[in-house]
């Protein structure tokens, strides 16, 4: 029986690339997203390429929906082997406009949304004494502050703490928890003029990245696949930066 991976935010960007990478590696990909059209398209792409995938609509702000989805997947497939908690938003908001609601909205998705999906799967992983969880942070959560994104940086820094706490508590049960902190990656989020660098800014970023370019979603997906695999069997509690040398190259 092939292993099962559940991926949040899998309709676009890094989540989409990750779903395709896991499917190519032989996993059954449970594609979830609040974006129904995009999520279904990813599941169809995987099936067309000879892989196994199914789409489930999921809003990670809903504990009820997350609990129900995990239960349904476990019942159908006998368990979840890997969770890739990727769903997230980044909305540019200056401090003067950063209301409680805006703050809560970002943390509810980018931080609490991870825990909502992981929590109901833990009993099964512990019982089977195996499982791998990979959470998406950001260089804006591990090293940089981000102008007009205080709530985003705070949430992504929180992911680092979540990874560490979960890793320590679950290690004795055979469950590993790691994270990835992407740098500048060619996604819809990065290319948004309203909320991030935009296309021109993204290309300019490549000029100060040591490798000379921004990254591609597939380059993050491959690291996520590694962290979930047996090749990383002695790794837990780590957040791996994947940024083309950006952090070490800025003096």
Would you please indicate which residues are annotated as catalytic (active-site) residues? 152
E strand spans, the chain: 4-7, 28-33, 52-57, 82-85, 131-136, 175-182, 239-242
Tell me if 247 sits within 8 A of 139, measured CB to CB: yes
Phi-psi region of 85 (alpha: psi -120 to 50; beta: other; left: phi over 0): beta
CA distance 214 to 175: 32
CA distance 1 to 220: 26
Tell me if 134 sits within 8 A of 227, measured CB to CB: yes
Least Cα distance to 15 among 119, 156, 134, 153 occurs for 134
Least Cα distance to 154 among 164, 144, 163 occurs for 144
């Amino acid at each position: 029986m092939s292993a099962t991976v559940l991926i949040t935010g899998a309709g676009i960007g890094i989540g989409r690339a990750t779903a395709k990478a896991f499917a190519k590696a032989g996993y059954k990909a449970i594609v979830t997203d609040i974006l129904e059209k995009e999520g279904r398209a990813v599941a169809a792409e995987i099936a067309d390429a000879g892989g196994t995938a199914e789409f489930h609509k999921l809003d990670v702000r809903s504990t009820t929906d997350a609990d129900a989805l995990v239960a349904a997947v476990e019942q159908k497939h006998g368990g979840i082997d890997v969770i890739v908690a990727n769903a997230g938003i980044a909305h540019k908001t200056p401090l003067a406009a950063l209301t409680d609601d805006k703050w809560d909205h970002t943390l509810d998705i980018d931080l609490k949304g991870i825990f909502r999906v992981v929590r109901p799967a833990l009993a099964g992983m512990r019982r089977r004494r195996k499982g791998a969880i990979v959470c998406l942070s950001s260089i804006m959560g591990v090293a940089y502050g981000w102008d007009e994104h205080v709530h985003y940086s705070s949430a992504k820094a929180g992911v680092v703490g979540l990874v560490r706490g979960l890793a320590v508590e679950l290690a004795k049960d055979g469950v590993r928890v790691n994270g990835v902190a992407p740098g500048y990656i060619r996604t819809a989020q990065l290319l948004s003029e309203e909320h991030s660098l935009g296309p021109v800014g993204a290309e300019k970023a490549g000029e100060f990245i040591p490798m000379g370019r921004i990254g591609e979603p597939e380059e993050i997906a491959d690291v996520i696949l590694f962290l979930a695999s047996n090749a990383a069997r002695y790794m837990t509690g780590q957040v791996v930066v994947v940024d083309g040398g950006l952090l070490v190259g800025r003096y």
